[in-house]
């Protein structure tokens, strides 16, 4: 059996695509209303509609009603009230075992349909709310990491532990770092180096369609096929296959203009509206890759995607009440207090901006030149982490070649030319690596060979169905390897320690450390009484970022 993996993400359950989700409750089945969106509960529905048959103390059971839509995972409830942190860990183990025993085949089908190699079970940091262990969060986190890591290895499923509080997230990553990097990851050293770069604020993100496909969005070819179907242009189906990607979209646009007797600009606008409609119909919840990238809290990001899934993942990971915790460029202005995302090829909420066809790419520079300048400034000033992008986009290639050419033409004092960034690829491509050598580091995440997975090399002649199945399995394995790699990057990227001076995480500390935490909290209380002085207010604020909880 293939071992699973314990992922840790910062966000909310309703903003993560998974095959099963665990909702905490108690023996009386008192469920908090903030879980309603997670399970897809309608305005007129009550929790009793989902109450499992035979619910009792210590239960771990599936919801009475099955999922109402593909975007809603299978729902399980867990009585999380416990007398000790270790009992919380055992309850988490109990529900994972029950899910695997009861729904294994259903979850495998759901995972494969979503492009996941193993089923993904998502749960919050259980036991730290009304479960009775809120003031012993440190020990609860230690118990959850230990039991769930063992469960994933033994049961062959992935588990995402979703921390809505940044302090819980940071404490979870600290616990995992102390216990070592994921044992199945062959590129752990590279992941750690990238994580440390993120921690130092040196990294900007660039991500493409490979991140959103795992959330149920169609590939480029899938998008074009659906556009052809919705626009009633079936007569060009056979012709499209003989063209390159941009020419395929151009043929759709030209045929649409002729059919509507419209000018090219009008057909491009209609095509943009239809793309926004298709993306809107498919985009449900962010993928695991979205949530892992959002958890990094990288301030600058660029994407060629049209959807808003990354923005939703960032919003879910944000603890502020700001309606717009992330600025979407070029439509919004940036500010020093929030991250931003540059939509390089347009956005579903601005369908006239969508860049899809060859003609729209040809005219890109005349209309979107400032966008290119911003991308190139990131290439010059940051280490660009490229995820889920094929590096075949004409504009991106031009930007990268121009920056690389500039760097190569300038003599530096130490005669070094730092790489523009790191490309996280899905398949080994020696020609691609050679092409970008010295400009981008190309990493193809690999899980250790002894993880129980059979070789995918075909033996003998394959049928078309066998080839398609093997290729689909290769894509699922590569996508999972990428998320395990990103999880390792995230584990090493946390720069803050909001749990350090928080008494809720104090269990297990030695006496001297505990006394020091008490003393600093007392100092913060005294400083708070001098809050009329701006300098003292800043000191209190700084201590609060390390977990001091001033009354």
Of 39-48, 171-180, 444-453, the poorest mean pLDDT is in 444-453
Question: How large is the average pLDDT for residues 50-79?
Answer: 86
pLDDT tens sequence across 301-355: 999 999 999 999 999 998 766 667 899 999 998 877 789 999 999 999 988 888 8
**Does residue 550 or residue 483 have the better pLDDT?**
483
Q: Could you give the 3-state DSSP secondary structure of residue 246?
A: helix
Joined together, the tokens standing for residue 283 give 């985009």
Average pLDDT over residues 508-523: 86
Instruction: For the domain made up of 203-213+283-444, give the CATH fold.
Output: Rossmann fold (3.40.50)
Which CATH class for the 6-181 domain?
alpha beta
Tell me the mean pLDDT in the region 199-228: 87
Q: What is the mean pLDDT of the chain?
A: 86
pLDDT of residue 509: 74
Q: What was the pLDDT predicted at 162?
A: 97
Q: What is the pLDDT of residue 126?
A: 94
pLDDT at 411: 62
382 has pLDDT over 90: yes
Average the pLDDT over 94-107 and give the result. Answer: 94
Highest mean pLDDT of the ranges 69-73, 132-136, 340-344, 435-439: 340-344
Phi, psi of 62 (to 5 degrees): -75, 155
Q: Judge whether residue 496 has pLDDT over 90.
A: no
Q: Where on the phi/psi map is residue 391: left (φ > 0), alpha (ψ -120 to 50), or beta?
A: left
Which of 37-41, 340-344, 461-465 shows the highest mean pLDDT?
Answer: 340-344
CA distances from 58 to 20, 25, 149, 155, 186 (A): 19, 10, 21, 21, 39
Q: What mean pLDDT comes out for the span 250-261?
A: 76
Neighbours of 98 (CB within 10 A): 17
Quick one: which H or E segment has residue 377?
helix 364-381
Q: pLDDT by residue (tens digit) across 114-143?
A: 889 999 999 999 998 877 787 888 899 999
CA torsion, ordered 290, 292, 295, 297, to nearest 10 deg = -70
User: Percentage of the chain surpassing pLDDT 70?
Assistant: 91
pLDDT reading at 88 higher than 80: yes
18 Cβ neighbours under 8 A, 6+ residues apart: 73, 120, 121, 122, 160, 288
Mean of pLDDT values over 471-494:
92
**% of the chain at pLDDT higher than 90:** 43
**Domain spans of the chain?**
6-181, 203-213+283-444, 220-280, 509-545
C-alpha–C-alpha distance, residues 377 and 185, integer Å: 33
Ranking 78-87, 280-289, 487-496, 527-536 by mean pLDDT, the lowest is 527-536
CB 22 within 8 A of CB 125: no
- Lowest-confidence pick of 147-161, 270-284, 470-484, 486-500: 270-284
Tell which residue, 359, 425, 360, has the closest CA to residue 392: 425
**Amino acid 165: pLDDT:** 93
Whether 551 shows a pLDDT value over 80: the answer reads: no
pLDDT at 450: 47
Work out the average pLDDT over 291-306.
Answer: 95
pLDDT-based confidence at residue 190 (cuts at 50, 70, 90):
very high
pLDDT confidence of residue 453: 54
pLDDT score, position 243:
80
């Amino acid at each position: 059996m293939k071992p699973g993996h314990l992922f840790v993400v910062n966000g909310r359950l309703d903003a993560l695509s998974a095959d099963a989700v665990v909702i905490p409750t108690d023996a009386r089945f008192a469920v908090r209303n903030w879980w309603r969106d997670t399970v897809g509960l309608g305005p007129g529905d009550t929790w009793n509609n989902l109450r499992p048959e035979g619910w009792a103390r210590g239960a771990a059971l599936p919801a009475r009603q099955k999922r109402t839509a593909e975007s809603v995972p299978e729902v399980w409830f867990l009585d999380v009230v416990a007398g000790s942190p270790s009992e919380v860990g055992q309850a988490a183990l109990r529900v994972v075992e029950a899910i695997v025993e009861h729904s294994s085949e259903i979850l495998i089908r759901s995972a494969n349909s979503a492009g996941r190699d193993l089923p993904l079970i998502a749960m919050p940091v259980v036991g730290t709310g009304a479960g009775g262990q809120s003031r012993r969060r440190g020990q609860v986190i230690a118990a959850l990491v230990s039991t769930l890591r063992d469960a994933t290895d033994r049961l062959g499923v992935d588990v995402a532990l979703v921390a809505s509080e940044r302090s819980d997230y940071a404490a979870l990553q600290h616990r995992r770092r102390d216990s070592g990097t994921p044992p199945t990851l062959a590129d752990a050293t590279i992941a750690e180096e990238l994580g440390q770069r993120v921690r130092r604020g040196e990294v900007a993100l660039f991500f493409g369609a490979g991140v959103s496909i795992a959330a149920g969005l169609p590939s480029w070819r899938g998008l074009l096929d659906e556009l052809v179907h919705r626009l009633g242009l079936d007569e060009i189906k056979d012709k499209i296959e003989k063209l390159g990607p941009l020419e395929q979209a151009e043929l759709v646009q030209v045929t649409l203009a002729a059919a509507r007797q419209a000018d090219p600009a009008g057909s491009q606008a209609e095509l943009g509206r239809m793309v926004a409609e298709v993306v809107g119909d498919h985009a449900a919840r962010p993928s695991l890759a979205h949530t892992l990238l959002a958890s990094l809290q990288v301030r600058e990001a660029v994407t060629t995607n049209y959807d808003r899934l990354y923005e939703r993942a960032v919003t879910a990971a944000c603890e502020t009440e700001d309606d717009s915790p992330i600025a979407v460029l070029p439509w919004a202005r940036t500010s020093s207090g929030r991250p931003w995302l540059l939509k390089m090829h347009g956005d579903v909420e601005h369908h006239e901006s969508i860049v899809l066809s060859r003609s729209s790419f040809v005219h890109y520079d005349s209309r979107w030149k400032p966008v290119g300048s911003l991308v190139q400034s990131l290439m010059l000033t940051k280490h660009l982490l490229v995820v889920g992008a094929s590096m075949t986009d004409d504009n991106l290639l031009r930007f990268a070649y121009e920056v690389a050419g500039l760097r190569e033409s300038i003599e530096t004092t130490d005669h070094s030319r730092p790489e523009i960034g790191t490309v996280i690829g899905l398949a080994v491509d020696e020609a691609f690596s050679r092409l970008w050598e010295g400009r981008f580091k190309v990493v193809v995440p690999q899980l250790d060979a002894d993880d129980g997975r059979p070789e995918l090399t075909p033996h003998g002649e394959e049928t078309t169905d066998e080839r398609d199945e093997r290729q689909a399995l290769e894509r699922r394995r590569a996508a999972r390897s990428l998320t395990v790699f990103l999880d390792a990057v995230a584990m090493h990227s946390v720069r803050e320690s909001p749990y350090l001076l928080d008494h809720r995480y104090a269990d297990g500390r030695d006496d001297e450390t505990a006394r020091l935490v008490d003393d600093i909290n007392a100092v913060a209380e005294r400083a708070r009484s001098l809050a009329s002085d701006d300098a003292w207010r800043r000191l209190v604020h700084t201590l609060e970022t390390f977990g001091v909880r001033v009354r």
